[in-house]
Structure 1
């Protein structure tokens, strides 16, 4: 698929490829989401995935805005249920919370049955409010939790994104993809995230697979705002998750 795109778009044949997502789309972040969409568009990035948290107090006006974004060819995806942990379950979850996720990795405090049930409820919400049924699901903080491969067929999504890359529910395959992020509200997180991004950008150059650029609602106002701008300005051939998934799972 990606090679076909290169033939049909010769001017972009040598462009680096990326898939861009805006996380934590909620009633409380709608204005920031629009600001980030505008920022991406200023850098000629048109294909954007919006990761929607459905289990919150969505007004008809907010849902209408999601529908308008979808009509503008932005892709709506599932992103947990309330994006908040009910409890910290064990030392692994506590360590994950301290280093990465804080209080948002809700999958880590659920059983397998609860994870499957919540993912089904997430997809049903889109159907209930007459939004396009999402093909991609991204657990908060990319923390999938206890969902073994033999249960993947029970979830109503084609792909799940994790910290490592994309997982195909149909093929039971995982494709590793490099990742960068920008959520840095402290000096420590600024330098740790920058180091993580340097690694992700290097992996993209070595492996030539598309880079995942993940943006959170306040990233353009936090300590790595300039870094976000510089990454977006690299002249990406922006791809959808569908395009990336069709390519990587055809070759893995």
Structure 2
């Protein structure tokens, strides 16, 4: 265990697998108590908690299906109860908005209103409401990190809805960075590229190989590649970085 975040608390949404799990583990390794959020897979979230505890860290799981009525209230009710249990307080030093609804990639003209609403409910509206609610718990010099996407920087018509929702998250970063600067709170975005999140698709050569070629290093990103950038932003070493969108694509946007 390291100590850059000793005594700090963190919430990582969508941390039952992939980048979220790696981020939760990374923050815990630096000493933070981590609230591991999940939407529907409680077992996977508990696996994240178990991995953290096996590493010598501290964590607890909190469930709430983002994008459904009352989800943010439910999340914070459970989060505050968990924080009180472990720290006798409800201070939240670090918020990582990672949870997201993915998009299959239909032609833009075939996107339904229902699909549009679902993606924006989870990827844009929920992070705003979570950040808004968290402001009462985050102290001075707190950290907020939003997980955006490289698709906000390139044209991929089948992913237009997902890209629009993540573009909204970047605007959340920009405006709240200015708004919260007087409190010493930093707000930043991290932009992952093609990252092997453990899904079946990335085990298929016809998908894995072309996606690997997008990076300047000619490989898929690993969750830890992105998580390490998030952990850096959560530490005091990143105190002079705010309102930024950090490229964590392995050079996929170099052209």
- TM-score (norm: length of structure 2): 0.40
